[in-house]
Structure 1
Amino acid sequence: MRTRKKTEELQEKTTAQEGDTFNYQQLIKNTLLHNDQFLKATLSLPANKQDGNWTKVVIRPVMIRGKKHLQFSYFDAQRDITKNYAGEEQLQQIDVLLSLEFKYIHLYTQAQTTQIHITKKNKVQIHSTKATGEHQKGDLSHDRQKKTFLAEPAAVPFLQAVGIVGNHGKINVDMYSKYRQIQEFIKLVFQTGALEHLPASLLHVVDAGCGNAYLTFAFYYYLHEYLQRSTEMIGIDSRSEPLEKHQEKVVQLGWTDLQFETSTIIDFHPRVAPHIVLSLHACDTATDEALAQGIQWGSSLLVSVPCCHHHLQVQLEQQPAPAPFSSVLRHSILKERLGDILTDDFRVLILQIMGYQADIVQFVSNEHTAKNLMIRARKSHRPGNLRAVHEYKNLKAFWNVTPYLEQLLAEHITRYLD
């Protein structure tokens, strides 16, 4: 009891001395190792980006065979690994993580939530708020059932409304791949850590080229129902017929802040600039339109799974292949795949030039969809990344092509390419 009181006093002190030289690392150790009200900790965005570093780590206490352990869940773009530690191993693992200098740390106890932010100038900002809702009660069960957010009973009504789950309460056989796709899409969005740093107030989201809207419904459910975040979301598509049916389902579910609108992506004008822009399998240049719109809106998070890459393919076919690639482009399937790779690489470089931290990860395995690469971009710095500019100009000159995304952003990106 004395230890817990000491830790709470320590936390109060850090809040009062926000930005000074207080040893925030000791606060983390005290909370994880000595506070019996500790529930969970998340660490994201390591400053030391060495090979093999994890982009996010979640720590929580668990009971194994009557003994308290700390469970560490490590995430990167491709994997998530969970390990349990007891005794001295706990401190060793904590020291390893602290050496990576994560920029954002959240400590959750039954009494309060503490946010620690390490700025670019290495200033330590610490802020604590009283715990509410889900963080008022802990669960130390190691063997608790591993459920995804879609496995929660509350997800069944919307899954049935969109036809993924039947009246029998189970996933329809022909919809398993779609279920897997939306599940993995949102999992990869979560792993970016971006959702934790968006405004705590109302979130605005656009699903560009929503089509059958499986993702639209799932993402709204995840934010609004599962995470309890105030959310206004709109799905747009050029076809009006499916949107009318989607709107009927929205009324059926009682979701007043999910709407659909008929519009092409490039012509859509949101009432409020969205924090998040999504696009799942928007065909060919529709993906570029979604990314261009998100960049011009200043959206904090852009997530896209491209589909079809015809625009650059046409340019490649209209000119001789660069000498080293003559044998590659002689085969139509290799030419197609090379065009896909180049298109997405150009997209990522443009995002980096325009101030985003961007990467490409595998979305799902080939058994679920052949179009299984995801572009994730989080706004993180000022435009004009010199490395990205250099690489983009060299790649463009070598292939003698002009990506469609550059054409869409001409008035914004030209200043960095001249």
Structure 2
Amino acid sequence: MKVEKKYVVVLVETLIKENKIVKIIVSNPVDKKNIRSKINIKPIIIKDNLNIQLEEFKENKAFHENICLDSFIIILDSLLEEYKQVFIVSLGADYQILKNKKDYNLKESKNNKSNIYLSHDNKKKYIIEEGSHVPFLIKLGVMGENGEVFKRSYDKFRQINKYLEFIDDTIEELKNKKLIDNKVKVVDFGCGKSYLTFALYHYLKNIKNMNFEIIGLDLKKDVMDKCNQIAKELQCENLEFLTGNIKDFNKLKDVDIIFSLHACDNATDYAILKGLELKAKAILAVPYCQHEFNEKMSKNKNSMFFKNDGLIGKHGILFEKYTTLATDAFRAQALELCGFKTTVMEFIDMEHTPKNILIKGIKDKISRDVLKTKYIAYKNFMDYLGIEPLLDELLKKYYLINSDNLKI
């Protein structure tokens, strides 16, 4: 039905006050130059007070702000002018609102949602607990001397703990497979400011009590110099930060774990390659921007993909999402051809970062028949996309089976 803007504002305000709103998604800017591509909105309770959290996406980065209800209603009025589409998820009903030239078209549909959880203060059990005095987190400005995590750094605190959960699972799996004992060598490619690298040091030394050697590598010399200085001040032994390119790294041999967070485009592929060169037993990668598949597939409109999935290919945003997923699916399958058992999972909740896919590979024993099936699926997928990815060229010498010794 057609409604006026005032009707939409009153509807949203009423649903919030009745504690029925689950989330609101505002999208499709009227002005294509608007750098805020999408805004996620949800009510939360902070210290017994109702707030509205706005999560804005600008250039693939998420920014959060919590405001009071009155301020939000004022902002909502302008958002309805700036965006063409609003989607409201509430208890019992969803509302899709599309902006027309003079009014709004509202469509209501029933759903089965029957409860909502608004608390922002609930304490989760983390590997590094809130309230504990952790020197590296204090030094890096994540928490204060009393162990309280700063509000501005809470997303980073959650990311650190999520990372440690994956590391914990990986180490236990490596131990169970007798690939490591109580000693581990880890390389963190593209470590940046090294929150996760210092977290790994704290975990291995103070929580697991393991023998270890950790190296962080990044292209930015000034950042690596600062990290080395922090490591010195915190008296971190067997932790070193180096400046350099992933391709040229040769400091360690027979590495147990390599980790690569948000390496851009083909840097993730080179991190995987280097992991194989270093005989890594576990490879963990969280890719970031991924352009190669998009660019190469766009140049081959005669591929089977465009013949069969042209409905995806003709929409830029859908095509981008598809090529991103295809890239990581291809990476996971390539790792399996190299003798790894792979898992693809969320690195951290989508509300905290739009780049959240973790590819986890653990060295495994795979039969020739299974490898044959995997290779056929791998080749068929590559042929379907109509491209020759760089990763295939980089890794083919590490495949345990390939077209040279397999009749397809």
Coarse TM-score class (shorter-chain normalised): 0.5 to 0.7
Distance 2:233 2:173 in 1: 31
Kindly indicate whether the alpha-carbon contact (under 8 Å) linking 1:236 and 1:262 is maintained by their aligned counterparts in 2.
Answer: yes
Kindly indicate whether the alpha-carbon contact (under 8 Å) linking 1:306 and 1:373 is maintained by their aligned counterparts in 2.
Answer: yes
Does the alignment pair 1:362 with 2:346? Answer: yes
Kindly indicate whether the alpha-carbon contact (under 8 Å) linking 2:127 and 2:164 is maintained by their aligned counterparts in 1.
Answer: no
1:1-400 → structure 2 map (5 Å cutoff): 147-151=125-129, 156-167=134-145, 169-192=147-170, 193-197=172-176, 198-320=179-301, 321-381=305-365, 385-400=371-386
Q: Using a 3 Å threshold, how does the CA distance of structure 1 residues 196 and 150 change in structure 2: closer, same or farther?
A: same
Kindly indicate whether the alpha-carbon contact (under 8 Å) linking 2:227 and 2:241 is maintained by their aligned counterparts in 1.
Answer: yes
Distance 2:345 2:167 in 1: 11
Partner amino acid, structure 1, of 2:233: Q
Q: Secondary structure at the match of 1:417?
A: coil
Q: Secondary structure at the match of 1:151?
A: coil
Runs of 4+ in 1 over 4 A off after TM superposition: 152-155
What is the aligned length?
274
How far is 1:153 from its partner?
Answer: 6.4
How far is 1:239 from its partner?
Answer: 1.1
Q: Secondary structure at the match of 1:416?
A: coil
Partner amino acid, structure 1, of 2:137: L
Kindly indicate whether the alpha-carbon contact (under 8 Å) linking 1:149 and 1:155 is maintained by their aligned counterparts in 2.
Answer: no
TM-superposition CA deviations, 1:176-220 (whole Å, max 9, x none): 112111211221232343243442243110001111111111112
How far is 1:413 from its partner?
Answer: 3.4
Unpaired runs of at least 5, structure 1: 1-144
Q: Secondary structure at the match of 1:293?
A: helix
Q: Using a 3 Å threshold, how does the CA distance of structure 1 residues 155 and 261 change in structure 2: closer, same or farther?
A: farther
TM-superposition CA deviations, 1:55-101 (whole Å, max 9, x none): xxxxxxxxxxxxxxxxxxxxxxxxxxxxxxxxxxxxxxxxxxxxxxx
Kindly indicate whether the alpha-carbon contact (under 8 Å) linking 2:339 and 2:364 is maintained by their aligned counterparts in 1.
Answer: yes
Unpaired runs of at least 5, structure 2: 1-122
Partner amino acid, structure 2, of 1:255: C
Q: Using a 3 Å threshold, how does the CA distance of structure 1 residues 224 and 304 change in structure 2: closer, same or farther?
A: same
Does the alignment pair 1:405 with 2:391? Answer: yes
Q: Secondary structure at the match of 2:134?
A: helix
Kindly indicate whether the alpha-carbon contact (under 8 Å) linking 1:352 and 1:358 is maintained by their aligned counterparts in 2.
Answer: yes
Distance 1:256 1:179 in 2: 23
TM-superposition CA deviations, 1:357-408 (whole Å, max 9, x none): 0010111111110011111110012586122101100000111112222122
The aligned counterpart of 1:41 is none
The aligned counterpart of 2:40 is none
Kindly indicate whether the alpha-carbon contact (under 8 Å) linking 1:346 and 1:403 is maintained by their aligned counterparts in 2.
Answer: no
Q: Using a 3 Å threshold, how does the CA distance of structure 1 residues 262 and 246 change in structure 2: closer, same or farther?
A: same
Partner amino acid, structure 2, of 1:363: F
TM-superposition CA deviations, 1:324-345 (whole Å, max 9, x none): 2111111111111101111001
Distance 1:166 1:153 in 2: 9
Kindly indicate whether the alpha-carbon contact (under 8 Å) linking 2:218 and 2:224 is maintained by their aligned counterparts in 1.
Answer: yes
RMSD: 2.1
Deviates more, 1:240-249 or 1:310-319: 310-319
Distance 2:367 2:245 in 1: 27
The aligned counterpart of 2:66 is none
Distance 2:194 2:359 in 1: 19
Distance 1:405 1:219 in 2: 28
Kindly indicate whether the alpha-carbon contact (under 8 Å) linking 1:306 and 1:374 is maintained by their aligned counterparts in 2.
Answer: yes
How far is 1:166 from its partner?
Answer: 3.2
TM-score of the pair, normalised by structure 2: 0.63
Kindly indicate whether the alpha-carbon contact (under 8 Å) linking 1:209 and 1:282 is maintained by their aligned counterparts in 2.
Answer: yes
Kindly indicate whether the alpha-carbon contact (under 8 Å) linking 1:209 and 1:237 is maintained by their aligned counterparts in 2.
Answer: yes
Q: Using a 3 Å threshold, how does the CA distance of structure 1 residues 185 and 417 change in structure 2: closer, same or farther?
A: farther
Q: Using a 3 Å threshold, how does the CA distance of structure 1 residues 383 and 251 change in structure 2: closer, same or farther?
A: farther
How far is 1:412 from its partner?
Answer: 3.0
Partner amino acid, structure 1, of 2:383: A
TM-score of the pair, normalised by structure 1: 0.62
Identity of aligned residues (%): 31
Partner amino acid, structure 2, of 1:261: L
